Amino acid sequence: MTIIYGFIGVYAIFDPIFNALELGYPSFLDAVGLSISSPLGYSEIAGIYGGLNLCIGIICLVGIFKNDIGIFSIKFITFMVGSIAIGRLIFSALPSTPSFYSVYFLFEVITFFVGLLLLYIKKVKSSY
């Protein structure tokens, strides 16, 4: 999770710079299906996608060395990705909306169930 979320965070923060330098990297905005309509949009992408994901990656890294932070990280990520997946499901149930199924949804569902499994294993181990 450190690598995945850290990469997403750095990618989102530096995407406008990569695009301006024409380095040939695929755009983060294209990858997630967004477009910017004002300069504030770049700040929102950097803050919401970049900052949030980067900090989630950092907290996961810290969690490797601090057990209580690691458990918190698993709980937080499990809740977060489960919430995002539920939002996609609810949206797709509305008339005339596109399907929720994508690689992102698959990642969220797998991460959700892995998180539940890890929390269950932790609970079972601590009950002995």
Number of C-beta neighbours around residue 41 at 10 A:
14
Angle at alpha carbon of residue 82, lines to 79 and 86, rounded to 5° = 135
pTM given for the model: 0.78
Give Cβ neighbours of residue 18 (< 8 Å, ≥ 6 apart): 25, 27
Look at residue 119 and tell me whether its pLDDT is greater than 90.
Answer: yes
pLDDT score of 103: 84
**DSSP state at residue 26:** P
Distance, CA of 78 to CA of 63 (rounded, Å)? 14
Domain boundaries, the chain: 1-65, 67-128
pLDDT tens digits, 41-61: 888 888 888 999 999 999 999
